[in-house]
């Protein structure tokens, strides 16, 4: 073993290694403590104000009323049933939209000709407010789950498409030169350098898309549906059951949060080598 | 004095049969966006012998990196010809190993898998090259780092990996584009010695592009001095320092004479950034 190499190794360990782990976890503990205090104060304050000023439950229900409604809905099986519908619509829409975005982005991103020809269309489609298409999509696909999946997929496809195109351009010139010098084919360059370099971008696209997919499903249910949490919100609204609406919103936030964490987790596992991804907050 | 025939190798003039690489009347002209033309290389003639070490020095803009990129098949030449072992060379070749200024390691691959990249891309037999890869890691003091990722290594260690990668498939010639330019002076001297050791053991033909005149003189059998705008060969200087070279030679009279001569050609301080 080269003694100098060893020296460099240890110097490197100091430079790139874990810089002061203890202060970081200390910081984490304080942050959690602060967040808990903030939550308790907010919810407690809300409860007190509603009770003290006798705010009608229809206008602003107390946190306790929302919790009761949430519990009743869950126990009766009504919330889980509608939750499942919206969840399947979101996941289905995300899956189809992401696959479409990846495929189209992959084709456009690897061909300068196609990129020049079709990128303007991509940009102009991106500016179309997709929500405005919802009534039309419902005419095409009906009131069932299919129309919600279609809407969800339409909205989710764009961030994946755009990020795939940008990501495929992210490979540094030298890495492509290196592969070229070693006689790599275009397909080998794509597989060995361009695709891995695009992954951090694609996963950020997934993260945005999954949240948008949930929104797409709910908007679809607002316009016309027989089931789902969006449908349920409208129903509760009709009966002035504001506590119920808040309870459903909590469920929806939970769904979005869980899906976002799932993607973030996958992101950190897949692009562990990218310091920006590794340090990214979940 | 511009002709390679007038420039003897370390053991006198190299007979044409032993030339591994022959560059003949090579020109490169870039087309700019506004329709203008930039002449990067003009009439480059150079013959490089088997197992010879040639260093190319010159100020920025003399086209030395362009020359290297054309030899590597990354850029196309405008006119002229290149022959490798008698056969025309018109693009990337399996016979090449290349080292860039930066290590260019793929961040998601372990050291070993980065090293094996040429083997993988060229569909060579992985099993038989693994032993070679391990031997190269040992040779460069990197044994034990095979399963690490590039971000766990220092700059000098990363550049060593890229040198190993350039040798793993046993190419007949090695191109290096300022391979130590990004390293600090101390590491750079160590790496120079190490490079000489690797070169001697692997018996490769080596072409090194560098900004540093002392580095070129220290490493090479011949130094090709290039002048800018358009890039052309100003002079080819045979270096008669004995091998193996040692750091003590940096202070020898012969070394100083060569460095002084090349500096005079450029009229600068020795480092040719500018």
Burial of B6 (0-12, 13-18, 19+ CB in 10 A): exposed
User: Hey, how many other C-beta atoms are within 10 angstroms of the C-beta on A135?
Assistant: 13
What CATH number corresponds to the domain at position A138? 1.10.3720.10
Domain tally, chain A: 2
Note whether A251 and A122 are same-domain residues.
Answer: yes
Closest chain A residue to the Cα of B154, Cα to Cα: A12
CB-based contact B140 A5, cutoff 8 Å: yes
Residue B7: name the closest of B186, B225, B207, B219 by CA: B225
Note whether A31 and A109 are same-domain residues.
Answer: no
Contacts of A267 in chain B (CB under 8 A): none
pLDDT for A85: 96
pLDDT digits (tens, 9 = 90+) for B176-210: 999 888 778 888 888 888 888 888 888 889 999 99
Contacts of B105 in chain A (CB under 8 A): none
pLDDT, mean of residues B159-164: 91
Task: Check pLDDT > 60 for residue B77.
Answer: yes
B117 lies within 8 A of chain A by CB: yes
Residue of B68, B102, B141, B187 to mutate for A, most A C-beta atoms under 10 A:
B141
Per-residue b or e along A105-129, where b marks 16 or more CB atoms closer than 10 Å to that residue's CB: bbebbbeeeebeeeeeebeeeeeee
Residue B32 pLDDT grade (very low, low, confident, very high; cuts 50, 70, 90): confident
**Higher-scoring residue by pLDDT: B27, B17:** B27
ipTM rounded to 2 decimals: 0.85
DSSP assignments along B167-205, one per residue: HTT--SEEEEESTTTTS-HHHHHHHHHHHHHHHHHHT-E
Q: How is residue A239 written in tokens? A: 């009966």
pLDDT for A99: 97
Note whether A29 and A101 are same-domain residues.
Answer: no
CB contacts < 8 A, A to B, total 88
CB-based contact B151 A196, cutoff 8 Å: no
Residue A173: name the closest of B162, B119, B104 by CA: B104
Task: Check pLDDT > 70 for residue B17.
Answer: no
Contact B267, B261 (CB under 8 A): no
pTM: 0.79
Distance of CA A142 to the CA centre of its chain: 27
B32 lies within 8 A of chain A by CB: no
CB-based contact A175 B96, cutoff 8 Å: no
Note whether A46 and A72 are same-domain residues.
Answer: no
Contact B85, B237 (CB under 8 A): no
Per-domain residue ranges of chain B: 96-171
Residue of B75, B104, B105 to mutate for A, most A C-beta atoms under 10 A:
B104
Domain assignment of residue A49, yes or no: yes
Contact B228, B196 (CB under 8 A): no
How much of chain B exceeds pLDDT 90, in percent? 40
CB-based contact A182 B96, cutoff 8 Å: yes
pLDDT, mean of residues B236-261: 90
Note whether A160 and A254 are same-domain residues.
Answer: yes
Domain assignment of residue A244, yes or no: yes
Contacts of B174 in chain A (CB under 8 A): none
Say which DSSP state B231 is in: B
Domain assignment of residue A174, yes or no: yes
Note whether A48 and A114 are same-domain residues.
Answer: no
Closest chain B residue to the Cα of A177, Cα to Cα: B74
Task: Check pLDDT > 50 for residue B252.
Answer: yes
Domain span including residue A29? 22-54
Domain assignment of residue A7, yes or no: no
Contacts of B110 in chain A (CB under 8 A): none
Note whether A116 and A210 are same-domain residues.
Answer: yes
Closest chain B residue to the Cα of A271, Cα to Cα: B108
Task: Check pLDDT > 60 for residue B67.
Answer: yes
B247 lies within 8 A of chain A by CB: no
Average pLDDT value over all residues in chain B: 85
**Higher-scoring residue by pLDDT: B104, B194:** B104
Q: Spell out the per-residue pLDDT of chain A, length 282, in tens.
A: 343 333 333 333 333 444 444 556 778 888 999 999 999 999 999 999 999 999 898 899 999 999 999 999 999 999 999 999 999 999 999 999 999 999 999 999 888 888 888 888 888 888 888 888 999 999 999 999 999 999 999 999 999 999 999 999 889 999 999 999 999 999 999 999 999 999 999 999 999 999 999 999 999 999 988 999 999 999 999 999 999 999 999 999 999 999 999 999 999 888 888 766 544 444
Note whether A38 and A174 are same-domain residues.
Answer: no
């Amino acid at each position: 073993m080269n003694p100098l190499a060893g020296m460099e190794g240890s110097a490197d360990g100091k430079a790139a290694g874990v810089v002061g782990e203890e202060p970081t976890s200390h910081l984490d503990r304080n942050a959690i403590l602060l967040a808990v205090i903030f939550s308790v104060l907010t919810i407690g304050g809300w409860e007190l104000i509603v009770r003290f000023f006798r705010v009608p439950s229809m206008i602003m229900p107390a946190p306790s009323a929302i919790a009761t409604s949430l519990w009743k809905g869950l126990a009766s099986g009504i919330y889980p049933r509608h939750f499942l519908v919206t969840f399947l619509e979101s996941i289905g829409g995300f899956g189809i939209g992401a696959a479409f975005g990846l495929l189209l982005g992959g084709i456009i991103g690897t061909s300068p000709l196609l990129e020049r020809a079709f990128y303007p269309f991509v940009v102009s489609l991106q500016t179309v407010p997709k929500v405005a298409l919802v009534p039309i999509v419902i005419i095409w696909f009906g009131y069932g789950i299919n129309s919600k999946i279609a809407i969800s997929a339409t909205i989710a496809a764009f961030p994946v498409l755009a990020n795939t195109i940008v990501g495929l351009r992210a490979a540094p010139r030298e890495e492509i030169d290196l592969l070229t010098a070693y006689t790599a084919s275009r397909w080998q360059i794509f597989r060995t350098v361009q695709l891995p370099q695009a992954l951090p971008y694609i996963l950020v696209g997934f993260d945005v898309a999954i949240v948008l997919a949930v929104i797409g499903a709910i908007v679809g249910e607002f316009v016309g549906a027989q089931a789902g949490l969006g449908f349920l919100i409208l129903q509760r609204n009709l009966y002035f059951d504001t506590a119920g609406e808040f309870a459903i919103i909590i469920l929806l936030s939970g769904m979005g949060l869980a899906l976002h964490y799932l993607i973030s987790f996958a992101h950190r596992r897949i692009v562990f080598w990218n310091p920006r991804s590794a340090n990214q907050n979940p | 004095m511009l002709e390679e025939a007038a420039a003897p190798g370390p053991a006198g003039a190299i007979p044409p049969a032993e030339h591994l690489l022959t560059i003949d009347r090579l020109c490169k002209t870039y087309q700019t966006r506004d329709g203008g033309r930039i002449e990067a290389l003009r009439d480059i003639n150079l013959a490089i012998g088997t197992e010879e070490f040639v260093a190319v020095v010159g100020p920025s803009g003399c086209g030395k990196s362009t020359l290297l990129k054309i030899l590597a098949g990354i850029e196309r030449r405008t006119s002229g010809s290149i022959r490798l072992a008698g056969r025309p060379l018109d693009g990337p070749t399996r016979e090449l190993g290349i080292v860039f200024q930066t290590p260019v390691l793929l961040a998601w691959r372990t050291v070993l898998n980065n090293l094996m990249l040429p083997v993988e891309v060229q569909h060579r037999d992985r099993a038989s090259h693994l032993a070679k890869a391990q031997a190269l890691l040992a040779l460069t003091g990197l044994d034990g780092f095979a399963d690490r990722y590039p971000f766990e290594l220092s700059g000098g260690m990363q550049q060593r990996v890229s040198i190993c990668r350039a040798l793993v498939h046993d190419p007949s010639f090695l191109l290096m584009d300022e391979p130590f330019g990004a390293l600090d002076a101390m590491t750079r001297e160590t790496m120079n010695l190490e490079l000489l050791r690797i070169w001697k053991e692997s018996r490769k033909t080596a072409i090194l592009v560098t900004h540093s005149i002392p580095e070129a003189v220290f490493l090479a059998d011949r130094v090709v001095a290039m002048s800018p705008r358009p890039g052309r060969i100003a002079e080819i200087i045979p270096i008669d320092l004995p091998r193996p070279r040692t750091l003590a030679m940096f202070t020898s009279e012969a070394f100083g004479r060569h460095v002084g001569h090349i500096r005079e050609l450029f009229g600068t301080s020795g480092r040719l950034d500018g």
